Amino acid sequence: MSTLATTNIKHASSSSNNIVLDSNGKAIMPGHIIQVVQGNYANNVSTSESSVYNEISSDLRATITPISATSKLIITYNLLLHANTTAIVTVRILKDGSTTIVENAQGNYSSSLFRGNSTHYADADLWGNCFVQVIDTAGNTNQRYYTPFWYSNSGTRGINNYLGYTAYSGTSSYTIMEVAA
């Protein structure tokens, strides 16, 4: 995907840019979606309990180059998860593989490991969709990626398949929408 060149237009009596035109001559108005990045992930991955968050898969990295530094980026993941035992599965969305969560971790839990962008409790057996959505401010027009990391306090967790049963499988997906500010 190529980045569009933009031109700012402002009224003579205004101190700020009121309208932004992309290189195709289309107006970019505040609140409009100016770019969408989507992807699907169908591979099966599983991992056992650990004491730290791990990236689910590098294939789930959603990459975008913002058109405007002032844009808001709405990052959404729909993950098909399975935990084979009673467990808490917590998902965090990180930018560029750093240790900083895109939005503040949620939850009023005693352990910070359970604070994430989405937390699910599995009572003996969880198989279902985990919806995670965060919002980031572009800040610049440099390319970056967002990726989900997960943690579980017990057992084995997997994505896109019911652990041990290959007949039960599905697909996870991600979307990034760039919204003009």
pLDDT tens per residue, range 8-56: 555 555 555 556 666 666 677 888 999 999 999 988 887 776 778 889 9
| 93 Cβ contact partners less than 8 Å away, ≥ 6 residues apart | 75, 77, 101, 102, 103, 117, 132, 134, 146, 147, 148, 149
Rg of the Cα atoms in the chain: 19
Q: What is the pLDDT of residue 17?
A: 55
State the DSSP code for 49: -
| Position 102 confidence tier, pLDDT thresholds 50, 70, 90 | confident
Tell me the average pLDDT across 104-128: 66
| Position 88 confidence tier, pLDDT thresholds 50, 70, 90 | confident
**Domain locations in the chain as residue ranges:** 30-179
Rounded distance, CA 160 to CA 150, Å? 14
| Position 114 confidence tier, pLDDT thresholds 50, 70, 90 | low
pTM score of the predicted model: 0.79
The CATH class, in words, for 30-179 is: mainly beta
